């Protein structure tokens, strides 16, 4: 798929902060929309201050804010709110992630936006929605991982509970928000009416846990911490070779005998404990131990060659430096470096050539004056706002 300014006539006002909302807005920016990031003084988006930094800019901010123009505007002040509403008149989409109750307090709820622009699409992103829990506290990715149950089966058995390191709920919610808004745009073509799209991180968490949830609902059995293992397949996990770690994934009955033959434990194929997948799951620890003894005797490279020839899925456990050096990273054009920045950007999966990456994330307030002038503000009005 290539990106060719599909959404070039769409204007998005990004009032959100952190990751989920900005990522949703960036998706539209990569698709060609005019995305205006409205940031509150004095520091702008909360992620701008987070380490690590690259040339004075936070890398978290750089990851989810390209293809945007930055407008510094204090929307908590009446004059700032009025200026925002003038911009809403020209917009198609507003994305916000205000803390509980703030939108109503500032008069920046859907009713207010709709009164200004009946065709506006508002996307509100929260941790837990509008119910009692959502109104009680703002939430971040890690908090929702904990509350949703996602952390309860993450990590190794008997180890302290841990979070999934990437911000999977923030990024997942940003994707759902973008898809929800795309669907709303299609509906608006037919109805001519605006719409309020709501997304919550808790929804994303339940969706990501769909097969664990279905398994629990069907059997009453809680999912367990399995480390690198899988709940429905064994042997499946990471083993220590002589010079590193190797991931081995066998998810079918046919693969198990081949694995046993390659690593020299053929006798386990006829062992009653391991004849079926159910048996292998019930006796996972014993099986994993037997495999570990053999894997430790050879290098990762040796095992990858032997297992590959046998049609067994296996791979080296790489760190980021090693992963970035893989041929597939270049083959898939995963990192894009343009003339405006020496720091590569990660292309979206829907943009196979990276054509949508057109400008780097903006400096704080970089486009304030030009955007206000585009909206018809006089120099005197601009001076009053700055």
Q: Which residues carry out catalysis? A: 170
DSSP string for 125-175: EESSTTSHHHHH----HHHHHHHHTGGGGSS-TTSPP---SS-HHHHHHHH
- Helices of type H across the chain: 20-30, 59-63, 78-88, 102-106, 110-116, 132-136, 141-148, 168-191, 201-208, 210-219, 255-263, 277-282, 284-295, 300-309, 320-324, 327-331, 368-374, 379-385
Q: Which residue do the tokens 């386990």 mark?
A: 268
The residues, ordered by sequence, that sit 6+ positions from 320 with a Cβ below 8 Å of its Cβ are: none
Q: Which residue do the tokens 């990590």 mark?
A: 155
What is the dihedral sign for C-alpha 2, 323, 318, 307? positive
CB atoms within 10 A of CB 317: 16
Relative orientation angle of helices 201-208 and 168-191, to the nearest 10 degrees: 110
The residues, ordered by sequence, that sit 6+ positions from 248 with a Cβ below 8 Å of its Cβ are: 235, 236, 237, 238, 239, 259, 291, 295, 307, 312, 313, 314
Give buried/exposed letters for 8-17 (b at 16+ CB in 10 A, else e).
eebbbbbbbb
Find the Cα–Cα–Cα–Cα dihedral 171, 111, 91, 197, rounded to 10°.
30
CB 37 within 8 A of CB 25: yes
Element (H, E) at 252: none
- Bridge partners of 200? 126
Asked if residue 151 has a cis previous peptide bond (ω within 30° of 0), the answer is: no
């Amino acid at each position: 798929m290539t990106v060719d300014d599909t959404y070039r006539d769409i204007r998005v006002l990004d009032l959100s902060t952190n990751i989920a909302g900005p990522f949703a807005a960036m998706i539209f920016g990569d698709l060609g929309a005019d995305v205006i990031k409205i940031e509150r003084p004095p520091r702008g988006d909360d992620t701008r201050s987070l380490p690590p930094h690259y040339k004075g800019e936070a890398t978290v901010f750089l990851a989810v804010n390209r293809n945007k123009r930055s407008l510094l505007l204090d929307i908590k002040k009446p004059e700032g709110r009025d200026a925002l509403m003038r911009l809403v008149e020209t917009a198609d989409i507003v994305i916000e992630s205000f803390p509980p109750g703030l939108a109503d307090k500032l008069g920046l709820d859907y009713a207010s936006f709709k009164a200004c622009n009946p065709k506006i699409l508002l996307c509100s992103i929260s941790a837990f929605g509008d119910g009692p829990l959502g109104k009680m506290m703002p939430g971040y990715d890690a908090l929702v991982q904990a509350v949703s149950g996602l952390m309860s089966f993450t990590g190794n058995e008997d180890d302290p509970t841990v979070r999934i390191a990437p911000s999977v709920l923030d990024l997942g919610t940003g994707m759902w928000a973008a898809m929800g808004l795309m669907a709303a745009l299609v509906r608006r073509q037919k109805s001519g009416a605006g719409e309020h799209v709501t997304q919550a991180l808790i929804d994303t968490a339940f969706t990501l846990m769909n097969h664990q949830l279905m398994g629990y609902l069907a059997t009453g059995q809680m999912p367990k911490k399995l480390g690198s293992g899988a709940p429905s397949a064994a042997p499946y996990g990471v083993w220590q070779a002589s010079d590193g770690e190797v991931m081995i994934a066998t998810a079918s009955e046919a693969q198990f005998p081949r694995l046993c033959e390659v690593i020299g434990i053929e006798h386990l194929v006829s062992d009653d404990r391991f004849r079926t997948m159910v048996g292998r799951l019930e006796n996972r620890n014993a099986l994993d131990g037997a495999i570990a003894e053999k894997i430790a005797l050879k290098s990762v490279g040796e095992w990858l060659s032997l297992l590959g020839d046998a049609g067994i899925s296996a791979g080296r456990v790489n760190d980021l430096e090693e992963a970035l050096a893989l041929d597939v990273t270049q083959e898939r054009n995963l990192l894009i470096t343009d003339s405006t920045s020496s720091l590569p950007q990660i292309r979206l999966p829907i943009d196979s050539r990276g054509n949508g990456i057109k400008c780097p994330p903006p400096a704080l307030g970089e486009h304030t004056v030009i955007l206000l002038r585009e909206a018809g503000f006089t120099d005197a009005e601009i001076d009053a706002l700055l």
